Amino acid sequence: MTSAESARHFIANAFTEGRSGRRIPVENPATEAVVGEAASADAADIDDAVRAARAYADAPETRDMPPVERMGMMFRMAEAIREIADTGARWLCTESGKPLADARGEFDEAARYFDYYGGLADKLEGRAIPLGGGYLDYTIPEPYGVSAQIVPWNFPVALAARSLACALATGNASVVKAPEEDPIALLMLGRAVQRAELPRGAVNIVCGYGEDAGAALVQHPGVDQIVFTGSVPTGQAILRAAAENVVPCVMELGGKSAGVVCPDADLETVAASVRTGIYFNSGQVCSAMSRLIVPESRHTEILDRVVALSESLSIGPGIAGHAITPLISAEQRDRVEAYCLGAEQEGARLATGGRRLDDRPGHYMPPTVVDRVQPGMRIAREEVFGPVLAVQTYPDDDTDRAVALANDTDYGLCAGVFTRDLDRAHRVARRLRGGQIYVNEWFAGGVETPFGGVGLSGFGREKGQEALNNYLRTKNVAVRLG
Ligand code: NAD
């Protein structure tokens, strides 16, 4: 790990400082020390990246590439990601604060996206549409061309890979805007691109702030399609920019997802899902289980168990393998703490946690359980993006009430139900609002399962075969037979 590897833009298969000459400091959230820096793209750098992407997308060799060749590129890329994973994971752990094992897991997931979409690259088929004897009609799935992808800081490597892999498999070129907080590990994917000997311009990654680099990218007239993962206000700004050029978007925004515990639920299962659902990545997960909706008769039992679990988790730097690691920044820590204070002021009760740990360097918030949360409270409706679980109750025999509470938010990303009753599981799953529903295991699924939201959580689906629809458009050819 040297600071020479601090992030530079990756354009047309070469690393470059960029034209602006400006740099962004990169902090270690566990020590608050500056550990690297990143280039900061301006509009001219973005233009370079989009031009490189356009050259690849429009080249006859790209358009006429046999699908099996694209498949080979994808598998080489998966292998190359695995080769750089150890170094990359240490950087990701350092700049994001997350546990080293989870950072390593992000690289494994990134490789898996390239394997998964590599396996689909030679199976993208059109169809023949019957029009009667005098005609032949068929469809061709075509790539959009240049895909712009804006990535947030919570899973920079895995989230970039999920869009990049699908775009590459479908014949698109990509320009990725890395998050300003932790761009270094993501830029290492450029080294994997070089190792895999992908064609120049297929994958381009730029660093920079959202308001200049990100905005310049989404406004660029050479961009044909946008995938955004991040917050609602930024998503809204990007949609406005996309409207100017009439460019389709995928919006992967936030969430306020709830797990409904039925009276017959197995509490071991519930506790395991609390551990991963709200404490994985210290709760900085769009699909986190940030609310638990429990039956009144089991409230005390569940609360005791969840509090004991929360207080048992080790807190410290990710590099030392702790369960709860620092939040990404001081601002994020302040924001999370403010939500906890606000919840108390609105009448909720902090069952554990809720105050920053200021006995050490680093942006730490402890695992926090907020009890007696009522539907109108901000803690019940707004995304906290930290290790904070809100607990709500419902009368045991009123499943309708439990579902209504779960659905009572403007978001709709994920939801879950915990029960031993198969019929009830399916009935409740149908009624919960969200793009992914979990039964008896939060985060069940993988790269194969379509992911995305409704309402303020956005639209479009990434992951799984559904994601191919984001990167391909249909051309119809109708032939009048002589
Ligand atoms: P953010 O919206 O502040 O930033 C996300 C990205 O957008 C960053 O790369 C940023 O530089 C860029 N950006 C900012 N302003 C821009 C602009 N005007 N034009 C173009 N790009 C711009 O979000 P964040 O705080 O980095 O990430 C946390 C949010 O992301 C949470 O709300 C979380 O729920 C959401 N998220 C969603 C998913 C999902 O798949 N649904 C996954 C992870 C995170």
Residue 56 alpha carbon to ligand 1 centre in Å: 27
C-alpha to C-alpha distance for 453 and 411, rounded to whole angstroms:
8
- Of the residues 93, 286, 340, 414, only one is catalytic, namely 286
Ligand 1 centroid distance, CA of 466 (Å): 22
Establish whether residue 226 lines the binding site of ligand 1, counting it when its CB lies within 6 angstroms of any ligand atom. no
| Cα–Cα distance, 314 to 324 (Å, whole number) | 6
Q: Is 412 exposed, middle or buried (0-12, 13-18, 19+ CB in 10 A)?
A: buried
Structure tokens at 439: 């039964």
Please give the chain's pLDDT, 482 residues, in tens.
444 458 999 999 999 999 988 999 999 999 999 999 999 999 999 999 999 999 999 999 999 999 999 999 999 999 999 999 999 999 999 999 999 999 999 999 999 999 999 999 999 999 999 999 999 999 999 999 999 999 999 999 999 999 999 999 999 999 999 999 999 999 999 999 999 999 999 999 999 999 999 999 999 999 999 999 999 999 999 999 999 999 999 999 999 999 999 999 999 999 999 999 999 999 999 999 999 999 999 999 999 999 999 999 999 999 999 999 999 999 999 999 999 999 999 999 999 999 999 999 999 999 999 999 999 999 999 999 999 999 999 999 999 999 999 999 999 999 999 999 999 999 999 999 999 999 999 999 999 999 999 999 999 999 999 999 999 999 999 999 98
State residue 1's pLDDT score: 46
CB atoms < 10 A from the CB of 69, how many?
13
Q: How far is the CA of 286 from the centre of ligand 1 (A)?
A: 10
| Residue 136 φ then ψ, to 5° | -120, 125
> Which residues have C-beta within 8 Å of that of residue 216, sequence separation ≥ 6?
41, 42, 43, 46, 47
Pocket of ligand 1 contains residue 150 by CB under 6 Å: yes
Nearest-angstrom CA–CA distance, 177 and 203: 11
From 206, 234, 282, the mutation candidate for ligand 1 (largest count of ligand atoms within 8 A of CB) is: 234
Nearest CA among 480, 470, 474, 481 for reference residue 127: 474
- The pair of three-digit structure tokens given for residue 91, joined into one six-digit string: 């950087």
Q: Which amino acid is at 272?
A: A
Could you tell me the end-to-end alpha-carbon distance of the chain, in angstroms, rounded to an integer?
A: 67
Is residue 107 within 8 Å of 82, Cβ to Cβ? yes
Query: Does the Cβ of 257 fall within 6 Å of ligand 1?
Result: no
The angle that helices 156-169 and 189-196 make with each other, rounded to 10 degrees, is: 30
Atom of ligand 1 nearest to the CA of 462: 40
Whether the CA torsion 355, 100, 438, 407 is positive or negative: it is: positive
Q: Which residue has 């490189």 as its token pair?
A: 52
Would the CB of 331 count as within 6 Å of ligand 1? no
Q: How far is the CA of 139 from the centre of ligand 1 (A)?
A: 35
pTM: 0.96
Per the DSSP assignment, residues forming a β-bridge with 227 are 149, 250
Ligand 1 atom closest to Cα of residue 180: 11
Say what the pLDDT of residue 138 is. 98
Residue 480 and residue 134 in contact, taking contact as beta carbons nearer than 8 Å: yes
CA geometry: angle 222, 224, 225, nearest 5 deg: 135
Pocket lining: 177 vs ligand 1, CB cutoff 6 Å:
yes
Q: At what angle do helices 422-431 and 399-407 cross, to 10 degrees?
A: 40
Ligand 1 centroid–CA 283 distance in Å is: 15
Centre of ligand 1 to C-alpha 151, Å, is 6
The CATH number assigned to the domain with range 257-444 reads 3.40.309.10
Q: Boundaries of CATH 3.40.605.10 in the chain? A: 3-252+457-478
**Per DSSP, what are the bridge partners of residue 204?**
175
CB of 238 closer than 6 A to ligand 1? yes
Q: Which helix (H) or strand (E) holds 183?
A: none
| Options 180, 252, 383, 462, the catalytic residue | 252
SS3 2: coil
Is-catalytic flag, 252? yes
What interhelical angle do 67-96 and 189-196 show, nearest 10? Answer: 150
* Residue 63: how many other CB atoms lie within 10 Å: 11
Identify the residue whose C-alpha is closest to ligand 1 atom 35.
Answer: 230
Q: Whose CA is nearest to atom 30 of ligand 1?
A: 230
Interatomic CA distance for residues 434 and 453, integer angstroms: 6
| Cα–Cα distance for residue pair 406/416, rounded to 1 Å | 9
Sort residue 13 into left (φ over 0), alpha (ψ -120 to 50) or beta. left
Distance CA(94)–CA(91), nearest Å, equals 5
Ligand 1 pocket member 252 (CB < 6 A):
yes
What one-letter code names the amino acid at 224? Answer: D
One DSSP character per residue, 161-173 reads HHHHHHHHHTT-E
DSSP state of 299: H
Q: Is the CB of 383 under 6 A from ligand 1?
A: yes
**74, exposed or middle or buried, with CB in 10 Å at 0-12, 13-18, 19+?**
buried
Homologous superfamily assigned to 3-252+457-478: Aldehyde Dehydrogenase; Chain A, domain 1 (3.40.605.10)
In angstroms, how far apart are the furthest CA atoms of the chain?
A: 83
Closest CA to 186 of 163, 157, 165: 157
Answer yes or no: is the C-beta of 213 below 6 A from any ligand 1 atom.
no
Does 38 sit in the ligand 1 pocket, CB within 6 Å? Answer: no
The Cα 189–Cα 459 span in angstroms is 27
- CA atoms of 280 and 441, how far apart (whole Å): 13
DSSP 82-134: HHHHHHHHHHHHHHH---HHHHHHHHHHHHHHHHHHHHHTT-----B----TT
Q: Which two tokens stand for residue 23?
A: 């740099």
Ligand 1 centroid, distance to 91 Cα (angstroms): 21
How is residue 224 written in tokens?
């044909």
What local confidence, expressed as pLDDT, does residue 5 receive? 57
Pocket test for ligand 1, best of 50, 96, 113, 154 (most atoms within 8 A of CB): 154
Closest ligand 1 atom number to CA of residue 286: 34
Burial of 469 (C-beta count, 10 Å sphere; 0-12/13-18/19+):
middle
Q: Where in the chain is the domain with CATH 3.40.309.10?
A: 257-444
